[in-house]
Structure 1
Amino acid sequence: MQSDNGARVAGAITAGLGATFFSITVFNAVENVLVRGDSATVSVLESLLPGAAELVLVGLGVWIYRCEDCSHVAHYVLVSMAAGATSILAIALWEAFFQQYQRGFQPLYILTSMLAAALVISALLGLYLSKYAHERRLSRRLHDRFSALFENVPDPVFGVVSRDGARRVELVNPAFEAALDVDEADVAGRPLAEFAVEHDDGTGSLPRETPTDADWVAASLTFRTRGGQREFVRLDSPLVEEPDAERDVDVYIDVTDDRQREERLDVLRRVIRHNLRNKLTIISGNADSLRDRDVEQCGELLEHLSVAADDLVSLSERAYEIEAAVASDDVETRPQPVGSLVEDAVESVRVRHPHADYEVACRPDLFASGTSALGMAIEALVENAVTHNDADAPAVRVTAALDDDGFVDVAVTDDGPGIDPATRELITGERDHDQLGHLDGLGLWLAQWAATDADGRLSFEDCETGTTVHLRVPRADPPDA
């Protein structure tokens, strides 16, 4: 605000000087005609160029006064005007002072000296303008490169401008528009606080490693629109800015997928550690018991050891598959043939667990929008229904149909003991992931992640015989043949 006042003062001074000089020129022309009897045409022609210059000075002053961001222009204009006027006036007075001691007055010498001063001032101004033009070309080139980079960054990015204490969204890139289902015109120019909540909990960090992580990452926020919400971090340049800068630009980059991937890998590691600890405890306990028994009495303990070892092998294989799916950058959804996915999932589980009874009811022409992990998630739900059931012949029914909301509902029903409320709360996010101690399965996590990536949802339903897990994902049209 103080700089705006300075620009107005400079503009008023410039316009005032121009108006004063123009008044003098007009007065001189009128005096020449009315008092001295000079020709009106000659007086007007004499006043034409000075008057035009003085009117330009008035216009320049008005422009500076009304300009909203011209404090730097006003400074240079005033300095240049003062330097030019002082130089010409000083030379004119210098010549006039010494000519009074000479024979006669020689205005031609004064004119040539003033012309020399004007040429020096013009040359210096030309040097400055050439340098300014060169810097503008460089600035424009950098701006164009930044714009091209900003527009083509694959991650959602947006910029915020801070001025006079107000922070407004300045621009967003196409990836931002696609991820949050919003147009730039809907958010540009509006206060950041309308969409975002900044976090002061120390979450301002990039999940990925960068050489400038400590210097550039400043804070994080959650940006919400009608199309959803995403997590961003603000990147600040480590370069020292001018203390009187009026306009700061902050760039925010999307880290939602990175944080989600880190969170999922953390869950995967913790569940694997829990399973390893349990199975190794069984192996260790049975191995100790073998030492105190005869060979004829070791059959049951060896069976326990074999089962625990097989479970560890199965766990490692499943963990490898899930880790590959979680760590993959391929989260693009595409039409998936639900009937084929269900049939393949049930057949794969049947091979490993032939003692269970399986029933499938699925429309063969049904397609769903999902990632490459959708089939793995369905298989995990079917296997969960079998392995967490103590019955001699567990019964599993898998159906796929459209629900009332137009989503494809893959339902897996079992006749087991059910899923406890604490596990359901962990999977759906109602309980913090720090409380993973009692959850030893990866299947439900995989199903939840597959549903989330497809903009779907995972839910649980108690039924008369057991539990039904619903994996709902958006319906998709069949791909073009």
Structure 2
Amino acid sequence: MTPPQNTDATSRFETLFEQLSDPVVEFRQDDDGEPIIVAANAAFRDVFAPAESVVGRPLNELIVPADRRDEAATFDQRTADGKSNRAVIERVTSEGRRKFLYRGVPAGDGRGFAIYSDVTEKLRQERHLDVLQRVLRHNLRNDVNVITGEVERALEHAESEETRAALRSIEETANGLTQLCTEAQTIRKVLSEPTPLDSTDLASILDTVSTDCLRRFTQATISVDCPDTLSVQADSRLQIVVDGLVDNAVRHNTASMPKVMLRAGVVDDDTVELAVADNGPGIPETEQQVITAEEQISPLSHGSGLGLWLVKWLTERYGGSLAIDTSPEADLTTDTSLDTGAATDTAAAGDRSMDIGTVVRVRLPQA
């Protein structure tokens, strides 16, 4: 007796196959390994052969440029070996050559599926933005150097304190623009790289960052309170996260003696919390809401820098979260549960009694 065919499932698959907006083709490989089209959805026919029948035709002959045949042969061999393919490729369409994100899925017995997502405009836009960013950074840095140089000369001849104060304000604003350029360049580089998670020594990173920041901010006091053996799931860029938090805490601190304390401990069986507290004026509420996604970015609400954005984005890549507390009751013990061991101070004595302006909490998966 012939088993009943799963016609409902087949019908649903065929409907999905036909309705997909990306070009999709089903193929079988002949004795020479050449993929022969078995079926193609409407999007494939519209993009590659709007006026032709494609069933039974060699796929490579239809869409692969002559100078990309070796590349296609490599993909075909991987399909024959039962391996998937994924790459950005160039193929011939009815409107000329275009770039696609190609995914090849083997289905067994020499059959497979190929999916093509057109990324031509996306890649072109990325190239244009890259050029624009490079030009803007170069021109902005050059212009800022001119401004700061002129300010320095003007300060030498300024006679009134009011004039000197105005010039220092100009200098501070210009330096802020330079910092913004640096942050943007760092973000672009960091976020374009993959994020392979591994056990990362948090204690070592905290000590390294505190030492580096004290070289940059000699007037600051930075204290570290962390067990000697505390690791999280992250990568080497976790140092950028910690450095960004400490740099932000000191750079925007208006206290005569900026103080920062880093305290890390285990919150539960699989989570570590790093709390970074400072005695500064606190992060403005509107900026907090933008960073923590409680408010949409707008011309009037966008934050003043990119440092915390980088911290947030990297933390999320690690599967963690970021929270900001500037309430009058903010302290380092809220939400951290376990004893972290004795504090070590890389500047002077750790000051647990400081008036806290901001506590930024980063939670990460424990390794």
Give the shorter-chain TM-score range.
Answer: 0.5 to 0.7
Distance 1:421 1:301 in 2: 27
Q: Which residue of 1 aligns with 2:248?
A: 384
Mean CA deviation greater in 368-377 or 432-441: 432-441
In the alignment, does 2:189 pair up with 1:324? yes
Give the 3-state SS of the residue equivalent to 1:441 in structure 2.
coil
Aligned-pair CA distance for 1:458? 1.1
Name the CA distance, whole Å, in 2 between partners of 1:330 and 1:236: 19
Equivalent residue for 1:459?
323
- Structure-2 separation of matches of 1:249 and 1:379: 46
- The 1:302–1:372 alpha-carbon spacing in structure 2 relative to 1, beyond 3 Å, is same
Any residues of structure 2 matched to 1:445-456 within 5 Å, and which?
445-456=309-320
Q: Say which structure, 1 or 2, has more relative contact order (CA 8 Å, 6+ apart).
A: 2
Q: 1:295 to 1:467 in 2, by over 3 A?
A: closer
Q: How does 1:128-143 map to 2 (within 5 A)?
A: 137-138=30-31, 142=35
Distance 1:210 1:142, change over 3 A: closer
Aligned residues of 1:283 and 1:308 also touching (Cα < 8 A):
no
Match of 1:129 in 2: none
Gaps of 5+ in 1: 1-61, 69-134, 156-207, 218-232, 238-247, 477-481
CA distances 1:383-408 after superposition (whole Å, capped 9, x unpaired) = 11112221111221101111125212
8 Å CA contact retained: 1:216, 1:236 = no
Residue type of the alignment partner of 1:296: E
- Aligned partners of 1:399 and 1:410 also within 8 Å: yes
SS in 2 for 1:398: strand
Q: Which residue is 2:159 aligned to?
A: 296
**Residues 185-235 of structure 1: per-residue CA shift (max 9 Å, x gap):** xxxxxxxxxxxxxxxxxxxxxxx8966798899xxxxxxxxxxxxxxx997
Aligned to 1:403, the other structure's residue is in SS state strand
Question: Share of identical aligned residues, percent?
Answer: 27
The structure whose Rg is larger is 1
| Shift of residue 434, structure 1, vs aligned partner | 5.0
Tell me which residue corresponds to 2:362: 471
Say yes or no: does 1:360 pair with 2:292: no
Deviation, structure 1 residue 325: 1.2
The structural deviation recorded for 1:412 is: 0.4
CA distance in 2, matches of 1:474, 1:235: 33
| Mapped contact 1:454–1:473 kept (Cα < 8 A) | yes
Q: SS state of the match for residue 400, structure 1?
A: strand
In structure 2, what residue type is equivalent to 1:320? Answer: Q
> 2:83 matched to which residue of 1?
151
Aligned partner of 2:275 in structure 1 is 411
SS at match of 1:408: strand
Higher strand share: 2
Amino acid at match of 2:243: E
Counterparts of 1:435 and 1:151, CA distance in 2? 48
1:42-95 residue CA offsets vs partner (Å, 9 max, x unmatched): xxxxxxxxxxxxxxxxxxxx98x9998xxxxxxxxxxxxxxxxxxxxxxxxxxx
- Deviation at residue 340 of structure 1 after TM alignment: 1.1
Alpha carbons 1:415, 1:466 under 8 Å: kept? yes
Count of matched residue positions in the alignment of Structure 1 and Structure 2:
254
Which is worse superposed, 417-426 or 385-394? 417-426
Q: Normalising to structure 1: TM-score of the pair?
A: 0.42
Q: Aligned partners of 2:169, 2:92: CA distance in 1, in Å?
A: 52
Structure whose residues are more often helix by fraction: 1
Gap change, CA 1:413 and 1:402, over 3 Å in 2: same
Question: 1:356·1:386 contact (CA, 8 Å) conserved in 2?
Answer: yes
